[in-house]
Amino acid sequence: MFELYQLEQLLIVAECGTLSGAAEQNHLSPSALSRSMQRLESEIGVTLFIRHKNRIELNENGKLAVDYARKIIDQANDMVSGIRSFDRRNHTISVGSCAPAPLWSLLPMLSDQYSDRTIASDVRDTELLIQGLQDGTYQMIILPYHQEMEGVESRQYLEEHLFFSLPPAHPLSGSKGLHFADLNGETMLLRSKIGFWHKLHIEKMPDTRFLIQEEVSAFDELVKASALPSFTSDLVIQREGEVPNRVKVPILDKEANIVYYLYFSKKNQKSLAHFLQVIQLQK
């Protein structure tokens, strides 16, 4: 029976239109490629080419063979991709999150519970997370709200509460609580890669000029040295500590106080059972 590489060579011959061009692309001599095509013809049992003195061209059999070859190569590639994806799913737990903070505690717990697996994570838009859970890209996702989904289970995970981080000289630094609208229109420092929070800030403070910082270390230094307001949260403070010479003021809008939920496919519930039990015990 013929080999896949012969079908790949046939496709290149059809694409290039000349034996010499196809041989060069295959990194073969024209004579070696010609012998390979002759073996392919012999194994199929029909001629595929019209041979001229200095060139060959596909006959009707050859054109049909090219159509079949393309389908076979595509199916072979799909098979390899599917098997590799299946293997990755068996050896990797992929988590998608709407924000970075929930991952700070979740990923170490997963690593402890599944030391034999690779733990991968992304921060993406909620629509892409839901799609990724449904198509198997993620074994688990984190959303900032509760939503019923067919074939999906959920667990309440943790909360995050947002604060304004203000310099002591700011006129609102003595407030017990503020709304987004209270600082709308000011210039503020903002971290990048904060997931759904970025869109929320833009929507709730449309007149604000945000100075977005890509590097976390640069952002932290600017917050320490700047008189500009910024954001922080209880989870950020828990992870990084209080920032010197800053006053944190709770943001009172309901959108600034989030409950995160874990979502996972029911078919993965058994494999995640131990981890889900650990989460339940921590509440």
- What HEC string does 57-110 produce? EECHHHHHHHHHHHHHHHHHHHHHHHHHHHHHHHHEEEEEECCCHHHHHHHHHH
pLDDT recorded at residue 131: 94
Domain interval for residue 186: 159-258
76 and 21 share one domain: yes
Q: What is the pTM assigned to this prediction?
A: 0.69
Could you give the number of structural domains in the chain? Answer: 3
Are 58 and 122 contained in the same domain? Answer: no
* DSSP 8-class letter at 136: T
| Domain co-membership, 84 together with 120 | no
Per-residue pLDDT of the chain (283 residues), as tens digits, is: 888 999 999 999 888 877 888 888 878 888 888 899 999 999 999 999 988 877 788 999 999 999 999 999 999 988 888 787 776 666 788 999 999 999 999 999 998 888 888 898 999 999 999 999 998 889 999 999 999 999 999 999 999 999 999 999 999 999 999 999 999 999 999 999 999 999 999 999 999 999 998 888 888 888 888 899 999 999 999 999 988 889 999 999 999 999 999 999 888 888 787 788 777 766 5
- CATH number for the domain spanning 50: value is 1.10.10.10
Q: Hey, is 206 helix, strand or coil?
A: coil
Regarding whether 132 and 42 lie in a shared domain, the answer is no
Rounded to a whole number, what is the largest CA-CA distance in the chain?
A: 92
DSSP-derived 3-state class of residue 132:
helix
